[in-house]
């Protein structure tokens, strides 16, 4: 693919995502039987998406980003201290039904580790910092999600969250793609064929994001369609989260004196959630919680709509190129 076509794809990626969503809605509503055929592809397409996404960030920059202890501490603090407080408060407005609450908690308490990188780049943020924080964000949410569910819902629900599916998701969706991306960069530095492979992979992040959205939404939409009345109550909570967290993220970035790129990155890691990666875990819940995946998928749809707004609002107003003065 030529450089011009690659630039076109990157420039029009939001439009591509929405075309993918519309196609997924059409398939999900028109061919609900396709759901069972598409669902097994969720993890594989996520793994490929993460591989080509990680490949976009040079390894040397990731290592440099790891040394930024301030950003790492801020990202972990806002996601695992501030967000749980906000989520607990917002979910008080939901019907206190375990099947609704468990889906909302699972998705809102887990920070995004995939398309947050894309949206951070779209808004002119420091994507290297987000990429460097990804393994830590994934590991810590693996450890803390059962604890948060136990605190917010009781021991019975926490026991349903088995470590196996989450560990499998980490290995298949994070560790393996990251390792392969590093190996590819090592190969590209020493081989023209490797460099050509890396260049070819460079146009794939946007199409793969579109494929991932299509597979996830088309495979899960029948769940949402059949239970739209029950899950409609979560939409205002998801919208409120999209409004509150960017403001808190910007406030923390200002207090810490972060520069523009870091501030935008912190805003996006504070607001984007791990809906695509958490979905396999939601699907592994007992039959009595079969509605939980629909609650997760609903968050995906709300968040994507919100990202279209935030990728414009964050650089234009919330974190402009000239840093806002705080205090």
Full 3-state SS string of 44-77: HHHHHHHHHHHHCCCHHHHHHHHCCHHHHHHHHH
Average pLDDT over residues 249-278: 94
pLDDT at 146: 85
Distances (CA, A) of 108 to 59, 80, 259: 30, 11, 27
Tokens linked to 215: 């597979």
Looking at the chain, the whole-number percentage of residues with pLDDT higher than 70 is 90
**pLDDT over threshold 80, residue 270:** yes
Q: What is the CA radius of gyration of the chain?
A: 19
pLDDT per residue as tens digits for the range 61-97: 666 666 789 999 999 999 999 999 999 999 999 998 8
Give 325's contacts (C-beta < 8 A, 6+ positions apart).
none
pLDDT per residue as tens digits for the range 190-222: 999 999 999 889 888 889 989 988 998 898 888
Q: pTM (2 decimals)? A: 0.83
CA distance 30 to 64: 48
Tokens linked to 273: 């959630």
Strand partners of residue 111: 273
CA distance 115 to 45: 13
CA distance 171 to 184: 18
Place of tokens 């414009």: 312
Looking at the chain, the whole-number percentage of residues with pLDDT higher than 90 is 44
CA distance 178 to 169: 13
Measured in degrees and rounded to the nearest 5, phi and psi for residue 111 equal -70, 145
């Amino acid at each position: 693919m030529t450089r011009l076509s690659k630039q076109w794809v990157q420039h029009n990626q939001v439009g591509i995502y929405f075309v993918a969503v519309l196609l997924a809605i059409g398939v999900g509503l028109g061919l609900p039987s396709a759901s069972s055929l598409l669902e097994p592809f969720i993890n594989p397409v996520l793994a490929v998406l993460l591989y080509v996404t990680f490949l976009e960030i040079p390894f040397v920059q990731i290592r440099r980003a790891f040394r930024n202890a301030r950003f790492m501490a801020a990202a972990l603090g806002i996601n695992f201290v501030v967000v749980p407080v906000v989520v607990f408060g917002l979910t008080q407005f939901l019907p206190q039904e375990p099947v609704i609450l468990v889906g909302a908690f699972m998705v809102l308490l887990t920070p995004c580790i995939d398309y947050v990188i894309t949206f951070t780049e779209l808004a002119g943020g420091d994507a290297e910092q987000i990429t460097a924080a990804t393994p830590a964000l994934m590991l810590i949410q693996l450890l803390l999600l059962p604890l948060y569910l136990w605190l917010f819902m009781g021991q019975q629900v926490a026991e349903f969250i088995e470590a196996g599916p989450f560990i499998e998701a980490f290995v298949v969706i994070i560790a393996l793609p990251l390792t392969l991306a590093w190996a590819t960069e090592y190969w590209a530095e020493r081989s023209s064929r490797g460099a050509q492979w890396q260049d070819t992979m460079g146009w794939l992040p946007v199409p793969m994001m579109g494929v991932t959205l299509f597979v996830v939404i088309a495979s899960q939409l029948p769940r949402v369609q059949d239970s739209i009345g029950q899950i409609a109550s979560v939409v205002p909570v998801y919208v409120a989260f999209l409004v509150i967290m960017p403001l808190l993220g910007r406030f923390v970035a200002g207090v810490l004196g972060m520069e523009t790129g870091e501030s935008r990155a912190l805003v996006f890691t504070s607001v984007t959630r791990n809906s695509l990666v958490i979905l396999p875990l939601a699907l592994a819940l007992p039959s009595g919680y079969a509605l939980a995946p629909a609650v997760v998928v609903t968050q995906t749809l709300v968040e994507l709509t919100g990202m279209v707004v935030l990728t414009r609002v964050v650089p234009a107003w919330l974190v402009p190129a000239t840093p806002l003065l705080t205090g």
